[in-house]
Chains A and B, each alone.
Chain A
Amino acid sequence: AQSVTQPDIHITVSEGASLELRCNYSYGATPYLFWYVQSPGQGLQLLLKYFSGDTLVQGIKGFEAEFKRSQSSFNLRKPSVHWSDAAEYFCAVGQTSGGSYIPTFGRGTSLIVHP
């Protein structure tokens, strides 16, 4: 069965600093990988996704992620964090089941941004 691990429950950074959120997955085939962001009181918004091809994926809001098969990782990065980036971040790996596309989510990493 597939699984996703986000080893950091909380990450605290200063505004303007760089950010890396870690994600490791377990999946037998080539995975579909995603990063979502959840602002307080909101639903999840897709930041970026990887299906195949270039292993460095660009997303919205200045985020990028790199797929490393050898490390089973899909870490999210941003060169300079803004206070508005404070939110919960979820990594997910996808599988198909009976015509549905079901992401399995990690437990999330809470990003705290200090001014």
Chain B
Amino acid sequence: DTAVSQTPKYLVTQMGNDKSIKCEQNLGHDTMYWYKQDSKKFLKIMFSYNNKELIINETVPNRFSPKSPDKAHLNLHINSLELGDSAVYFCASSQDWHGYTFGSGTRLTVV
């Protein structure tokens, strides 16, 4: 059983489209996150949800909207995709500092 699973693994889409990335964790963790990793491997926190409540919303465009239907799921919806959105997006979950677990990533390519 995969602890933190993301779908899809790869996503190629045209500029202007709307897309979603799904994330599920089966670890029972209270907190889930979205990170963006750019082409230089830099990891930047985008959002954090604790028990379905938005805790952190870093300076990302409002075209990005996270949705957490329950504690085990945190989806990322992106409107009007731009070339600069191309990156690898990682979902993660944690239970305090002892259980910070990453998904395997979604490589988004906007053409």
Binding site for B on A (CB under 8 A): 32, 34, 36, 38, 41-46, 49, 51, 88, 90, 94, 97-103, 105, 107-108, 110
Q: A88-B41, A97-B56 known; A103 and B103 CB under 8 Å?
A: no
Residues of B with C-beta under 8 A to A38: 41
Q: Chain A residues with Cβ under 8 A from B55's Cβ?
A: 97-100
Describe A's contact surface by its main secondary structure: strand
What's the minimum C-beta distance from A73 to chain B, rounded to whole angstroms?
Answer: 20
Query: Which A residues are CB-close (under 8 A) to B104?
Result: 41-43
Q: Which residue on A lies nearest to B91, using beta carbons? A: A43
Q: Which residue of B lies closest to A105 (CB)?
A: B43
B50 touching A107, Cβ below 8 Å? no
With contact pairs A98-B50, A98-B55 given, residues A43 and B103 touching in the complex (Cβ less than 8 Å): yes
